[in-house]
Structure 1
Amino acid sequence: MIFAERRQLVLAATAAALVAGAVGFVAGAYRDAPTEDRGGRAVLYWYDPMVPSQHFDKPGKSPFMDMQLVPRYAGEGESEAGVRIDPARVENLGLRTAIAKVGTLDTGFTAAGAIDFNERDAIVIQARAAGFVQRVYSRAPGDVVGAGAPLADLLVPEWGGAQTEFLAARRTGDAALTRAARQRMTLIGMPAGAIAAVERTGRPQNVLTVTTPAGGLIKTLGVRAGMSIAAGQTLAEINGLGTVWLNAAIPEALGSRVRPGQPANASLAAYPGERFPGRISAVLPAVEGDSRTLTARIELINRGGRLRPGMFAQVALGGMSRPALLVPEEAVIRTGTRTIVMLAQPGGRYQPAEVQIGATSKGQTEVIAGLGDGERVVASGQFLLDSETTLAGAQVRSLGAAKPVAPATARPTYQAEGSITAIDARSVTISHGPIPAIKWPAMQMRFLSPPATARAFKRGDRVSFSFDQPPEGPTIRRISKLNGR
């Protein structure tokens, strides 16, 4: 018993000595590390700016990079918004700033598309009665034919019998019987031209030549010599080539910028330097699931058949310019849950600010809320600053904390109708009616206009248009033909 008690006392004393030694070592270690700088500021820890999540209790060289550890001071980032970055480090990081200012946002953009047939010009030729194909003219799918081109000769026995009855009734001199026989030929599907030929020649026209009612490309041809055909059977499909469709793929995010009637200009690799003007005839309601794009259908005039279905094209869609608060596109940080910019404040301080953005065009992004006119934002190196502010726990300025943006005064626009009397690449002269809003009488006036106007309109066109009055003179902002003329 005495031996066991002595053993327990020895073990307890040894454990107490070990604990005391450990406490003394830790206290000595923290005593050795300076807790204040020469200016009296308390040091919380040291860290490597390249690995800010790792903290150290004493200064020295970073185990990750060949550089000295940097101190983090108590209260840093608490008394003022954001964090302060040493000017020397700012210069090393190559930070570049820009001022948010009100400017003009051009909402025009380009999209890719492909030429396709204008399905509104499609023609289907069908057999009006059962019969046999006696002859097929030298045609094949893909041929371009003119209006009235022959396709096939058909023998229709039912028409032959009706024609014989009509001629026999006409020889009797009975007008009522003749009218009934003629009506029967119409009801069984004989074309008016064939009936007129029977009346003129007095002989049955047993063979009918099927011709194309309009010119275009033969898409399908379903007749062969010797075959029998049924009533209603499709003999051929022809698509006109006077106009074509350009189906442009519009990114879903830009869907609000396109609308029917909007002007467009297409360029094709086959015709470098040439532009083909047109207008959006429809914006299809469905979105492509794979590409997340809308389809804008643009109708183009196909002079000389130069625009061939299947060709690829780039289409420029002009948008209305409008005033907006703009910052460089690269200044915007999208985190997935919100959008922020890094504000550059006096004294070398930087603070993240949440913003609501709108459209982006030509390297400029519209800021709808969260930023004021004249505030300076970081346009290069902002991701390093974002990491620094996150590490320091800097508070993000909310949308409502920004100073309000002075509303940009939009220039009023006026509506009018008239006839084009002269037009060139830079202006259009219109003879218009009275405009009561600005007390203009009916007169002839020259308006500034974009170059696309001269390509889409001509002298004598009746138009409806809107315009404003900038310092350089009355300028057309929208123009369209009246009643398609």
Structure 2
Amino acid sequence: MSFRSVQNPSCLPVAILLALLLAACSHQTSEAPQSPAVIADHGLLRVPGKSPLRSQLVIQPVEMRDVPHAVAFPATVEADPARMANVLPALTGKVVELKVGLGDHVARGQLLAVIDSGDLAQAYADADKARDALDLAKKGLDRARGVQQAGGNALKDLEAAQSGYNQALAEFNRAQTRLTAVGGSGSTRAMNVTAPISGAVTALSVAPGMYVNDPTAAMMTIANLDTVWITANVPESEVGLVARGQPVDAILSAYPDQVFHGRVSFVSPVLQADTRRDLVRVAVANPDGRLKPNMFANASFDIPQPAQVFVPESALLMNNDSTTVFVEVAPWTFERRSVELSYDETAGARVVKGLKAGDRVIVKGGVLLND
């Protein structure tokens, strides 16, 4: 309504005239143009003070986190050499009995095999002769003491008897020690081979009736697999990223849905000449025996990184083929900026390029400015 639409305003009552004037002013105000929600200004987007977008946009500073970077290397499961033992025969002979088989679990001190050995028979004979000589020397010493106390023997005769006894005792101790070392016992004249450690028989090279002719060749191997090594092959260019005590997560081909945790316990001081890789071993508990030597695995090392920029995924907007965010360069003034990301399954969107510490970005409602 306008003032021109009123005919002869002087003929109207004053109250009605005032009402018409107020209605006309209200109509003109409603027809006035409203302020824009956002203003584009030389590549910047400015949100005016009366823009309804101010209540829709959420602005936050970027987050800085010290999140390690995971690097994976191929690996295999190995038995810990400190928990392995090659069982060697103390003497040569014929295997009379074999008490265990390949893969059997044995306890320390358990009987593994019985060997009929001529060398062991000689050790028994030496011990028997030394015992008899010791008994004879003891009797001679006792007689010499009795005669000397009666005054019928010279002191040198007593000393000679004492020397003979001492030599016989030393020979008896030597023969008995050797007999014990080669597995002799008073209950049997055969050589008993016992387990030096507890574990599983992982290699076996003898059978009943077989002659053991080389005392330096292992009859069997026992490995304690309660703790195993996951050995990663680290390229020469990455060796500087790993260190002893570093946490490691491993996934095995046999158990793809389970993660095994451990720490680096050994970094080889020498690279493999043929592969130019370093052997990095991770000790992993294996109480249930699921990890078996020679299994394949992937070992993921947490490499320490400097603090990096992270933003919530709600701040990311697609602009053509690039990922962008709106950065506040002045109060309620924003700049569209392209970013490069490195997604982390646990940490979120890591920004490797495009943002820095202290930047403030729109984390909610940015899609309203995206057009």
Using structure 1 for the length normalisation, give the TM-score.
0.42
The yes-or-no answer on 1:241 pairing with 2:225 is: yes
SS of the residue 1:128 aligns to: coil
Matched to 1:121, the amino acid is R
Select 1:162's aligned residue among 115, 126, 142: 126
Q: Give how far 1:117 is off.
A: 1.1
Deviation of 1:243 after TM superposition, in Å, equals 1.0
Q: Report 1:194-209 matches (<5 A).
A: 194=184, 197-198=185-186, 205-209=188-192
Q: Please state if 1:126 is matched with 2:93.
A: no
Q: Work out whether 1:256 is the aligned partner of 2:213.
A: no
Instruction: Check if 1:309 corresponds to 2:271.
Output: no
Higher normalized contact order (CA 8 Å, seq sep 6+, divided by chain length): 2
Partner residue of 2:107 out of 128, 138, 146: 146
SS at structure 2 position matched to 1:213: coil
Q: Deviations 1:119-173 (Å, cap 9, x if unpaired)?
A: 12121222333x3124131544444333224223242432122122133234425
Give per-residue Cα distances to partners, 1:68-109, cap 9 Å, x unaligned.
xxxxxxxxxxxxxxxxxxxxxxxxxxxxxxxxx883352331
In the alignment, structure 1 residue 109 sits paired with structure 2 residue 99? no
Secondary structure of 1:190's partner? helix
Residue 57 of structure 1 corresponds to which residue in structure 2? Answer: none
In structure 2, the partner of 1:268 is: 252
Alpha-carbon separation, structure 2, partners of 1:143 and 1:316:
33
Mark the CA change 1:177 to 1:115 in structure 2 (over 3 Å): closer, same or farther. same
Report the aligned-residue RMSD.
4.9
CA offset digits 1:218-258 (Å, max 9, x no partner): 33333342414244443332222121100123354443332
Identity %: 21
Partner residue, 2:136: 172
Distance 1:297 1:226, change over 3 A: closer
CA contact (8 A) 2:77 2:292 kept: yes
Are 1:185 and 2:172 counterparts?
Answer: no
Distance 1:290 1:102, change over 3 A: farther
Inter-CA distance 192–288: structure 2 relative to 1 (3 Å threshold): closer
Residues 1:213 and 1:245: Cα distance change in structure 2 (over 3 Å) = same
SS at match of 2:239: helix
User: Do the aligned partners of 1:280 and 1:298 also contact (CA within 8 Å) in 2?
Assistant: yes
What CA distance in whole angstroms lies between the structure 2 residues aligned with 1:255 and 1:373? 34
| Cα distance in 2 between the residues matched to 1:233 and 1:180 | 32
Structure 1 unpaired stretches of 5+: 1-100, 328-358, 375-485
Task: Report which of the two structures shows the higher radius of gyration computed on alpha carbons.
Answer: 2
Structure 2, unpaired ranges of 5+? 1-61, 139-164, 312-341, 360-371
TM-score by length of structure 2 reads 0.53
Is 2:202 aligned against 1:212? no
Q: Which amino acid in the other structure matches residue 176 of structure 1?
A: N
- CA contact under 8 A between 2:64 and 2:357: conserved in structure 1? no
Q: Quickly say closer, same or farther: Cα 1:305–1:179, change in 2 above 3 A.
A: farther
* CA displacement at 1:307 relative to structure 2: 1.2
Q: CA deviation at 1:259?
A: 0.8
Equivalent pair of 1:116/1:245 in contact (CA under 8 Å): yes
- Distance change (3 Å), C-alpha of 1:272 and 1:209: same
From 206, 213, 224, give the equivalent of 1:229: 213
Structure 2 SS opposite 1:162: helix
Which amino acid in 2 is paired with 1:222?
Answer: S
Q: Is the 8 A contact 2:95 2:113 kept in 1?
A: no
Per-residue CA distance 1:405-440 (angstroms, 9 max, x = gap): xxxxxxxxxxxxxxxxxxxxxxxxxxxxxxxxxxxx
Cα distance in 2 for residues equivalent to 1:245 and 1:312: 12
